[in-house]
A = this chain, B = another copy of it.
Amino acid sequence: MKLNPHVSVDCVIFGFDSLSLKVLLIDRNLGLKTNKQTAPKSLKLPGSLVYDDEDINTAANRVLKDLTGLENIYLQQFHVFGSPKRLNKKEDLAWLQSQTKMKINRVVTIAYYSLIKLHLSLPCEGKVIWHDVMNLPELAFDHNEIVQKGLLTLRLELNNKPIAFELLPKKFTIRQLQKLYEIILGKNLDNRNFRKSISKWEHILSLKEKEMKVAHKPAQYFKFDKRIYNKMNKEYLTEQ
Protein backbone atom coordinates (compact mmCIF):
# COMPACT_ATOMS: atom_id res chain seq x y z
CA MET A 1 0.00 0.00 0.00
CA LYS A 2 1.63 3.22 -1.16
CA LEU A 3 -1.31 5.32 -0.08
CA ASN A 4 -0.22 8.52 -1.71
CA PRO A 5 -1.60 9.49 -5.05
CA HIS A 6 -0.72 12.83 -6.55
CA VAL A 7 -3.22 15.63 -6.10
CA SER A 8 -4.22 18.00 -8.88
CA VAL A 9 -6.73 20.73 -9.57
CA ASP A 10 -8.78 21.03 -12.75
CA CYS A 11 -10.80 24.09 -13.70
CA VAL A 12 -14.07 24.13 -15.58
CA ILE A 13 -14.14 27.71 -16.81
CA PHE A 14 -17.57 28.68 -18.14
CA GLY A 15 -18.36 31.60 -20.41
CA PHE A 16 -21.59 32.72 -22.08
CA ASP A 17 -21.77 34.45 -25.46
CA SER A 18 -25.52 35.25 -25.45
CA LEU A 19 -26.25 32.16 -27.52
CA SER A 20 -24.47 29.24 -25.89
CA LEU A 21 -22.60 28.25 -22.77
CA LYS A 22 -18.92 27.63 -23.46
CA VAL A 23 -16.17 25.88 -21.59
CA LEU A 24 -12.50 26.74 -21.92
CA LEU A 25 -10.30 23.89 -23.16
CA ILE A 26 -6.65 23.57 -24.08
CA ASP A 27 -5.11 21.35 -26.70
CA ARG A 28 -2.41 19.30 -25.05
CA ASN A 29 -0.87 18.43 -28.43
CA LEU A 30 -0.41 22.09 -29.34
CA GLY A 31 3.02 22.36 -27.75
CA LEU A 32 4.39 19.14 -29.27
CA LYS A 33 7.59 19.76 -31.21
CA THR A 34 7.20 16.80 -33.48
CA ASN A 35 4.42 16.35 -35.94
CA LYS A 36 3.01 19.73 -35.01
CA GLN A 37 0.96 20.11 -38.15
CA THR A 38 -0.66 16.74 -38.14
CA ALA A 39 -1.07 15.90 -34.46
CA PRO A 40 -4.76 15.42 -33.73
CA LYS A 41 -6.42 17.76 -31.26
CA SER A 42 -6.48 16.39 -27.78
CA LEU A 43 -8.58 18.65 -25.63
CA LYS A 44 -8.46 18.86 -21.87
CA LEU A 45 -9.45 21.13 -19.04
CA PRO A 46 -6.80 23.50 -17.70
CA GLY A 47 -5.24 22.03 -14.57
CA SER A 48 -2.07 21.37 -12.63
CA LEU A 49 -0.60 19.19 -9.95
CA VAL A 50 -0.69 20.94 -6.58
CA TYR A 51 2.79 22.13 -5.60
CA ASP A 52 4.44 21.18 -2.39
CA ASP A 53 3.43 23.68 0.32
CA GLU A 54 0.75 25.15 -1.91
CA ASP A 55 -2.84 25.36 -0.74
CA ILE A 56 -5.27 23.66 -3.14
CA ASN A 57 -7.28 26.86 -3.64
CA THR A 58 -4.05 28.70 -4.39
CA ALA A 59 -3.24 26.09 -7.04
CA ALA A 60 -6.61 26.58 -8.73
CA ASN A 61 -6.16 30.35 -8.69
CA ARG A 62 -2.68 29.92 -10.17
CA VAL A 63 -4.00 27.83 -13.07
CA LEU A 64 -6.64 30.44 -13.76
CA LYS A 65 -4.26 33.37 -13.54
CA ASP A 66 -1.53 31.76 -15.66
CA LEU A 67 -4.07 31.10 -18.37
CA THR A 68 -6.29 34.15 -18.38
CA GLY A 69 -4.33 36.82 -16.54
CA LEU A 70 -7.39 37.29 -14.36
CA GLU A 71 -7.42 37.39 -10.58
CA ASN A 72 -10.27 37.51 -8.09
CA ILE A 73 -12.74 35.86 -10.40
CA TYR A 74 -15.52 33.51 -9.33
CA LEU A 75 -13.91 30.17 -8.50
CA GLN A 76 -15.57 27.41 -6.56
CA GLN A 77 -14.54 23.87 -5.57
CA PHE A 78 -17.32 21.51 -6.57
CA HIS A 79 -16.26 17.87 -6.60
CA VAL A 80 -13.32 15.50 -6.21
CA PHE A 81 -12.68 12.87 -8.84
CA GLY A 82 -10.66 10.11 -7.24
CA SER A 83 -11.25 6.88 -9.09
CA PRO A 84 -8.06 4.80 -9.28
CA LYS A 85 -8.98 4.25 -12.95
CA ARG A 86 -8.72 7.90 -13.97
CA LEU A 87 -5.39 7.33 -15.77
CA ASN A 88 -6.40 4.09 -17.45
CA LYS A 89 -6.09 5.46 -20.98
CA LYS A 90 -2.49 4.87 -22.11
CA GLU A 91 -2.15 8.17 -23.97
CA ASP A 92 -3.29 10.10 -20.88
CA LEU A 93 -0.72 8.45 -18.63
CA ALA A 94 2.06 8.87 -21.21
CA TRP A 95 1.29 12.57 -21.67
CA LEU A 96 1.19 13.17 -17.93
CA GLN A 97 4.50 11.46 -17.30
CA SER A 98 6.21 13.27 -20.17
CA GLN A 99 4.90 16.60 -18.92
CA THR A 100 5.82 16.12 -15.29
CA LYS A 101 8.94 13.96 -15.72
CA MET A 102 7.64 11.91 -12.82
CA LYS A 103 6.43 8.39 -12.30
CA ILE A 104 2.75 8.80 -11.66
CA ASN A 105 0.27 6.03 -10.95
CA ARG A 106 -2.72 7.84 -9.66
CA VAL A 107 -3.99 11.41 -9.48
CA VAL A 108 -6.89 12.54 -7.32
CA THR A 109 -8.18 15.76 -8.82
CA ILE A 110 -10.16 18.51 -7.16
CA ALA A 111 -12.48 20.16 -9.66
CA TYR A 112 -13.30 23.87 -9.55
CA TYR A 113 -15.68 25.84 -11.67
CA SER A 114 -15.15 29.41 -12.65
CA LEU A 115 -17.41 31.96 -14.32
CA ILE A 116 -16.00 34.49 -16.76
CA LYS A 117 -17.48 37.37 -18.70
CA LEU A 118 -16.78 36.14 -22.23
CA HIS A 119 -16.81 39.56 -23.88
CA LEU A 120 -13.66 40.53 -21.96
CA SER A 121 -10.59 39.91 -24.07
CA LEU A 122 -8.18 37.46 -22.47
CA PRO A 123 -4.41 37.25 -23.01
CA CYS A 124 -4.76 33.54 -23.75
CA GLU A 125 -6.85 34.01 -26.91
CA GLY A 126 -5.47 31.82 -29.66
CA LYS A 127 -4.00 29.41 -27.17
CA VAL A 128 -7.32 28.19 -25.84
CA ILE A 129 -10.56 26.91 -27.28
CA TRP A 130 -13.98 28.04 -26.09
CA HIS A 131 -16.15 25.03 -26.88
CA ASP A 132 -19.93 24.77 -26.68
CA VAL A 133 -20.60 22.80 -23.51
CA MET A 134 -23.53 20.94 -25.05
CA ASN A 135 -21.57 19.41 -27.84
CA LEU A 136 -18.19 18.31 -26.53
CA PRO A 137 -15.90 15.80 -28.25
CA GLU A 138 -14.17 13.13 -26.18
CA LEU A 139 -11.83 14.92 -23.79
CA ALA A 140 -8.71 13.61 -22.07
CA PHE A 141 -8.91 11.70 -18.76
CA ASP A 142 -12.39 11.89 -17.17
CA HIS A 143 -12.80 15.52 -18.20
CA ASN A 144 -16.16 14.98 -19.93
CA GLU A 145 -17.52 13.71 -16.64
CA ILE A 146 -16.01 16.68 -14.80
CA VAL A 147 -17.64 19.18 -17.18
CA GLN A 148 -21.02 17.43 -16.82
CA LYS A 149 -20.81 17.49 -13.03
CA GLY A 150 -19.81 21.17 -13.21
CA LEU A 151 -22.85 21.96 -15.31
CA LEU A 152 -25.08 20.05 -12.90
CA THR A 153 -23.59 22.05 -10.04
CA LEU A 154 -24.44 25.31 -11.83
CA ARG A 155 -27.99 24.01 -12.24
CA LEU A 156 -28.34 23.16 -8.56
CA GLU A 157 -26.82 26.44 -7.41
CA LEU A 158 -28.61 28.73 -9.84
CA ASN A 159 -31.25 29.60 -7.26
CA ASN A 160 -28.87 29.98 -4.34
CA LYS A 161 -26.07 32.03 -5.81
CA PRO A 162 -25.85 34.93 -8.27
CA ILE A 163 -24.15 32.71 -10.85
CA ALA A 164 -25.92 34.14 -13.89
CA PHE A 165 -24.57 37.64 -13.33
CA GLU A 166 -20.97 36.47 -13.27
CA LEU A 167 -21.51 35.17 -16.81
CA LEU A 168 -23.54 38.04 -18.27
CA PRO A 169 -22.12 41.38 -19.35
CA LYS A 170 -22.64 44.20 -16.84
CA LYS A 171 -25.70 45.38 -18.74
CA PHE A 172 -27.86 42.68 -20.22
CA THR A 173 -31.29 42.12 -21.69
CA ILE A 174 -33.95 39.83 -20.23
CA ARG A 175 -33.63 37.75 -23.40
CA GLN A 176 -29.96 37.09 -22.60
CA LEU A 177 -30.78 36.24 -18.99
CA GLN A 178 -33.55 33.85 -20.02
CA LYS A 179 -31.34 32.14 -22.60
CA LEU A 180 -28.68 31.57 -19.95
CA TYR A 181 -31.23 30.11 -17.53
CA GLU A 182 -32.56 27.85 -20.29
CA ILE A 183 -29.12 26.49 -21.10
CA ILE A 184 -28.13 25.89 -17.49
CA LEU A 185 -31.48 24.31 -16.61
CA GLY A 186 -31.51 22.34 -19.85
CA LYS A 187 -35.08 23.28 -20.80
CA ASN A 188 -37.07 26.02 -22.49
CA LEU A 189 -38.84 28.50 -20.24
CA ASP A 190 -42.08 30.31 -20.94
CA ASN A 191 -41.21 33.92 -21.87
CA ARG A 192 -44.10 35.51 -20.07
CA ASN A 193 -43.64 33.53 -16.84
CA PHE A 194 -39.92 34.24 -16.88
CA ARG A 195 -40.47 37.99 -17.21
CA LYS A 196 -43.06 37.81 -14.43
CA SER A 197 -40.56 36.10 -12.10
CA ILE A 198 -37.81 38.54 -12.95
CA SER A 199 -40.04 41.52 -12.26
CA LYS A 200 -40.19 40.38 -8.62
CA TRP A 201 -36.40 40.24 -8.25
CA GLU A 202 -35.41 43.39 -6.45
CA HIS A 203 -31.73 42.81 -7.23
CA ILE A 204 -32.28 43.38 -10.96
CA LEU A 205 -32.59 47.04 -11.89
CA SER A 206 -33.75 48.34 -15.23
CA LEU A 207 -31.52 50.89 -16.95
CA LYS A 208 -32.68 53.74 -19.13
CA GLU A 209 -30.48 52.48 -21.91
CA LYS A 210 -31.69 50.21 -24.71
CA GLU A 211 -29.94 47.98 -27.25
CA MET A 212 -28.43 49.73 -30.27
CA LYS A 213 -28.07 48.56 -33.87
CA VAL A 214 -30.19 45.43 -33.60
CA ALA A 215 -32.49 44.00 -36.26
CA HIS A 216 -35.35 43.43 -33.82
CA LYS A 217 -37.11 45.90 -31.54
CA PRO A 218 -34.39 47.21 -29.18
CA ALA A 219 -34.69 45.64 -25.75
CA GLN A 220 -34.12 47.41 -22.48
CA TYR A 221 -30.91 46.81 -20.54
CA PHE A 222 -30.84 45.64 -16.93
CA LYS A 223 -28.11 45.40 -14.34
CA PHE A 224 -27.52 43.23 -11.29
CA ASP A 225 -27.26 45.01 -7.95
CA LYS A 226 -24.99 42.95 -5.71
CA ARG A 227 -25.64 45.11 -2.66
CA ILE A 228 -29.38 44.47 -2.77
CA TYR A 229 -28.84 40.79 -3.51
CA ASN A 230 -26.52 40.37 -0.53
CA LYS A 231 -28.92 42.21 1.76
CA MET A 232 -31.72 39.85 0.76
CA ASN A 233 -29.55 36.75 1.08
CA LYS A 234 -27.79 37.54 4.29
CA GLU A 235 -27.97 33.96 5.49
CA TYR A 236 -25.79 32.80 2.62
CA LEU A 237 -23.19 35.46 3.13
CA THR A 238 -21.39 33.60 5.88
CA GLU A 239 -20.09 31.29 3.19
CA GLN A 240 -18.32 33.98 1.22
Copies of this chain, whole number: 2
Q: How far is the CA of A160 from the CA of B7 in the complex (A)?
A: 30
Partner of A1, one of B51, B79, B80, B187: B51
Across the interface, do B56 and A82 meet the contact criterion of CB distance under 8 Å? yes
- CB of B82 within 8 A of CB of A52, answer no
Q: Which residues of B contact A235 (CB under 8 A)?
A: 155, 185-187
A49–B239 Cα gap in the complex (Å)?
A: 27
Scan residues 38-78 of chain A and give those whose CB is less than 8 A from a CB of chain B: 49-57, 77
What CA separation (Å) do A6 and B106 show in the bound complex? 12
Closest B residue to A152 by beta carbon equals B239
Determine the chain B residues whose CB is within 8 A of the CB of A51 once the complex forms.
1, 3
The secondary structure that dominates the A interface is loop
Q: How many residues of A contact B (CB 8 A)?
A: 39
Shortest CB–CB separation between residue A235 and chain B, in angstroms? 7
User: Is A238 a contact partner of B4 (Cβ separation < 8 A)?
Assistant: no
In chain A, positions 83-111 with a C-beta closer than 8 Å to chain B are 83-84, 100, 102, 106, 108, 110
* A12-46, CB < 8 A from B: none
CB of A2 within 8 Å of the partner chain: yes
**With A51-B3, A80-B77 in contact, is A156–B160 under 8 Å at CB?**
yes
A53 CB contacts on chain B under 8 angstroms: 84
Contact of B52 with A80 in the complex, beta carbons under 8 Å:
no
Q: Is A123 an interface residue (CB 8 A)?
A: no
A236 lies within 8 A of chain B by Cβ: yes
Q: Is A5 an interface residue (CB 8 A)?
A: yes
Cβ-defined partner of A2 (8 Å) among B52, B56, B100, B239? B52
Closest-CB distance, A197 to chain B (whole angstroms): 16
Give the interface of A toward B (CB within 8 A). 1-7, 49-57, 77, 79-80, 82-84, 100, 102, 106, 108, 110, 152, 155-156, 159-160, 185-187, 235-236, 238-239
A-B contact pairs, 7 of them (CB 8 A): A7-B7, A54-B84, A56-B82, A56-B83, A56-B108, A57-B82, A80-B110
